[in-house]
């Protein structure tokens, strides 16, 4: 009996609040691969979500699911979001690509946007950051700062996005320091501070004195700070973790894109496309460039940033040869965005193989 009256009460409240809102808010769902508190990749997506809410006020209602494993679970989560009335769903990790596509086909009235992938549908677009621009500046700084001529790269998974950025960083380092070599360690996770620490230490044990990472936790910076080695922050401003070691962080800003897409879907003008944002669109920026950097390094960082932001320079402009001797980008050609999404070779000079 009590239970029944409780249910009736809840129903009344729900009914009232529905009547209260003049019209249903536009609902947007987000799927994150890590915790929102990772202070890296997922944190920045969530900041984008919050700004989206602020921008539209009552007109938009958002929900998010964090820590979603890439795989079967993801499909369940995305389906759940679609079922619970979301009009637009952002899935924000490469591994959500196939699950998102499957759900998109089942829910033609919902709009899906998948970050960093390459599969699209009538109601599913993709978006990515030109992270290779950030990595290029990182590589320039690393090449100038290394004294042992060995820079280290902590990779998550050997997917095109990560491989492309390794190439970008290496070409950049090479452009300022012809003697530089790079050691690459894969941790097979986007977010595992313990593993990332181990990887950072394993690299430093082998003479690495500047660390780059394509994983999302600040753990490598903490490890670098402890051992007096340089490191570059990923996705979000990570300077507080390594006041001395921190070179700069390449910071993501997704808000402009989230606002644009939400507006388009609300207006009915949405068209699925493959959007890439970088320095030029203010979706990438260099955060907290350390004051303790030598003057020439700082100047070079600024100059490289300007060159990339103005579009004057593109790191993947031919001729580029891979480390097996094949010409992968012919002279006079610059990789298109589609080609950039399929990079599966290491550039000449990287003495390693891509794990299969």
Binding stretches for other proteins (CB under 8 A) = 35, 37-39, 67, 152, 183-188, 191-195, 197-199, 201-203, 205-206, 208, 217-219, 222, 240-241, 351-353, 355-356
35 vs 272, beta carbon nearer other proteins: 35
63 vs 201, beta carbon nearer other proteins: 201
Minimum distance from residue 352 beta carbon to other proteins (Å): 5
Nearest to 280 by CA among 130, 75, 69, 171: 130
110 vs 222, beta carbon nearer other proteins: 222
Minimum distance from residue 241 beta carbon to other proteins (Å): 5
Minimum distance from residue 253 beta carbon to other proteins (Å): 18
151 vs 308, beta carbon nearer other proteins: 151
113 vs 216, beta carbon nearer other proteins: 216
Per DSSP, helices labelled H in 206-335 are 219-226, 255-267, 295-309
Minimum distance from residue 298 beta carbon to other proteins (Å): 25
Minimum distance from residue 195 beta carbon to other proteins (Å): 7
> Hey, how many other C-beta atoms are within 10 angstroms of the C-beta on 346?
21
202 vs 259, beta carbon nearer other proteins: 202
Minimum distance from residue 173 beta carbon to other proteins (Å): 17
State how far the alpha carbon of 17 is from the alpha carbons of 56, 129, 209, in Å: 19, 39, 58
Radius of gyration of the chain (CA): 22
3-state secondary structure 189-235: CCCCHHHHHHHHHHHHHCCCCEEEECCCCCHHHHHHHHCCCEEEEEE
What CA–CA distance (Å, rounded) separates 36 from 119? 25
Nearest to 203 by CA among 152, 163, 254, 238: 152
């Amino acid at each position: 009996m009590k239970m029944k009256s409780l249910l009736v009460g809840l129903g009344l409240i729900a009914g009232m609040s529905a009547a209260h809102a003049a019209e249903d808010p536009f609902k947007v769902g987000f799927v994150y691969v890590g915790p929102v508190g990772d202070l890296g990749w997922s944190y920045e997506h969530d900041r984008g979500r919050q700004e989206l809410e602020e921008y539209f006020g009552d007109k938009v209602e958002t929900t998010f699911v964090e820590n979603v494993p890439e795989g079967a679970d993801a499909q369940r989560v995305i389906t759940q979001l679609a079922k619970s009335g979301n009009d637009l769903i952002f899935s924000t990790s490469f591994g959500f690509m196939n699950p998102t596509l499957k759900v998109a086909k089942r829910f033609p009235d919902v709009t899906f946007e998948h970050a960093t992938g390459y599969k699209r549908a009538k109601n599913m677009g993709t978006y990515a950051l030109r992270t290779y621009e950030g990595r290029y500046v990182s590589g320039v700084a690393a090449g100038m700062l290394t004294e042992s001529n060995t820079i280290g790269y902590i990779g998550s998974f050997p997917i095109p996005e990560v491989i492309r950025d390794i190439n970008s960083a290496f070409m950049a380092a090479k452009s300022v320091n012809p003697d530089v070599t790079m050691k690459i360690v894969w941790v097979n996770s986007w977010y595992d501070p313990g593993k990332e620490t181990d990887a950072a230490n394993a690299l430093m044990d082998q003479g690495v004195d500047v660390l780059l990472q394509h994983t999302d936790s600040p753990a490598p910076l903490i490890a670098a700070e402890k051992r007096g080695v340089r490191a570059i922050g990923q996705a979000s401003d990570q300077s507080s973790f390594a006041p001395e070691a921190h070179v700069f962080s390449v910071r993501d800003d997704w808000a402009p894109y989230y606002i644009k897409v939400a507006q388009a879907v609300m207006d009915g003008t949405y068209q699925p496309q493959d959007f890439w944002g970088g320095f030029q669109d203010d979706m990438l920026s260099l955060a907290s460039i350390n004051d303790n950097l030598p003057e020439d390094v700082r100047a070079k960082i600024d100059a490289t940033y300007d060159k990339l932001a103005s579009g004057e320079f593109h790191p993947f402009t031919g001729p580029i040869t891979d480390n097996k001797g094949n010409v992968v980008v012919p002279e006079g050609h610059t990789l298109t965005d589609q080609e950039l999404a399929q990079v599966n070779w290491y550039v000449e000079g990287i003495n390693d193989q891509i794990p299969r």
